[in-house]
Amino acid sequence: MKNSASASPVEERYEPNGALRLRWLNLPITLRVALSAAVMGLLVVIVSTFSLPNPNMILIAGLVVCSAIFGVPGGVVSAAAMMGYTVYFFSTDHSLVSFTPQNFMKVAVTAIGVTVVGIFVCTLKSAEDRALADATAMAVLLREDNLLLQEASLTDVLTGLRNRFALRRDYSGYAESGRSLHVMMMDLDDFKGINDAHGHETGDLVLKDVGSILLGTFGPECSYRYGGDEFLVIASDWTDDEFDAACKRMRGQMESLSIGADGESVLFSGGYVCGSPRLQSDLRLMMRQADDNLYKAKREGKDMVVGSEFDRATAQALVDKGRSVRFGDRA
């Protein structure tokens, strides 16, 4: 299955802004402090070098930016830098300790403003990070749920095998692989009689057991419930001997199933072809020829598997005659 790696809509909504968020930058505190100090130091150099009027407006912008990007560490460092420059700028002769009453009031007002702005921006940043974490966790859960739903939609509930939807999904991969394939159509002999004699509940248990045997014999990647009591196996890179041996093992396991008080066995008939598809349509033709071999097994007495090499001309002739791959119409 495609474990798809594609992002969910929630992830796509948040990831474009991820480069600006500390959560995605994942910077250590020391680096956040250093970067904040560098930004504020640069601003201090600019306002002092060019003697900009009202430098606090420039520095407070730096405080907001550092708090928004680097969180509390950035806010603390930028606030300290801004207050340090403010004390230096407004102190008498830049003494850092002597102030006129008017300038002392300016320093006090700046301290209050810096504190309020820093706390407000850092609080927003923390709330943003929490919301982003919740959204990311939700996106992960949604992706997991989507994978589960996708898997459920591709799996037959009763047998645990892949279903026709999964076959449609896998079709191009088989058809274009160019690998050697064994394609087998099979169904249970006289399954209608099992339902009639023992009830549909027993019939469902038989199908479930057959599904387990198929999974154990050929693996989940090869086994499909085609419909009703009919199954499809598409095995890649098996030799004829390996495939025949697997069919024999499967027959023995099915015969060991016991139905009803008389211990009736479960029998099946199968038809397969082996070959390497070269065209997009070859897999469908292989299924048609395998289906015809299944008809032959039924006509020749059931409880057997008939196999042959894939022949495109033979399969195409079946298509031209209107023979289609069907299920539920064989006794």
Asked, for residue 308, whether it belongs to a domain, the answer is: yes
Q: Is residue 14 part of a domain?
A: yes
Range of the domain at 232: 164-320
- 101, 124, 151 — which closes off a domain? 151
Assess whether 140 and 206 both reside in one domain: no
User: At 196, which CATH number?
Assistant: 3.30.70.270
Q: What is the pLDDT of residues 159-191, one digit of tens each?
A: 999 998 899 888 888 877 778 999 999 999 999
Q: Is residue 62 part of a domain?
A: yes
Whether 185 and 66 share a structural domain: no
In the predicted model, residues of the chain with pLDDT beneath 70 are: 1-26, 148-152, 261, 323-331
Residue 13 lies in a domain: yes
Task: Give the C-alpha separation, 85 to 154, whole Å.
Answer: 66
Whether residue 2 is contained in a domain is answered as no
- Same domain as 113, residue 58: yes
Domain membership flag for residue 158:
no
Buried b (16+ CB within 10 A) or exposed e, 38-66: ebbeebbeebeeeeeeebbebbbebbbbb
**Residues 147 and 189 occupy one common structural domain:** no
Are residues 99 and 139 located together in one domain of the fold?
Answer: yes
**Residue 67: beta bridge partners?**
none
CB 125 within 8 A of CB 71: yes
Q: Is 182 in the same domain as 125?
A: no
In 3-state terms, what secondary structure has residue 4? coil
In a domain, 330, yes or no: no
Has residue 299 been placed in a domain? yes
Domain count, the chain: 2
41 lies in the same domain as 82: yes
Angle between helices 282-299 and 164-175 (to 10 degrees): 120
Q: Are 133 and 238 found together in one domain?
A: no
Q: Do 68 and 127 sit in the same domain of this protein?
A: yes
* Residue 98 and residue 55 share a domain: yes
Query: Two tokens at 40?
Result: 């504020």
**Which tokens sit at 212?**
């387990």
Does one domain contain both 147 and 264?
no
263-287 pLDDT, tens per residue? 788 999 999 999 998 887 899 999 9
Q: Could you tell me the pTM of the whole model?
A: 0.58
On whether both 169 and 314 belong to a single domain, the answer is yes
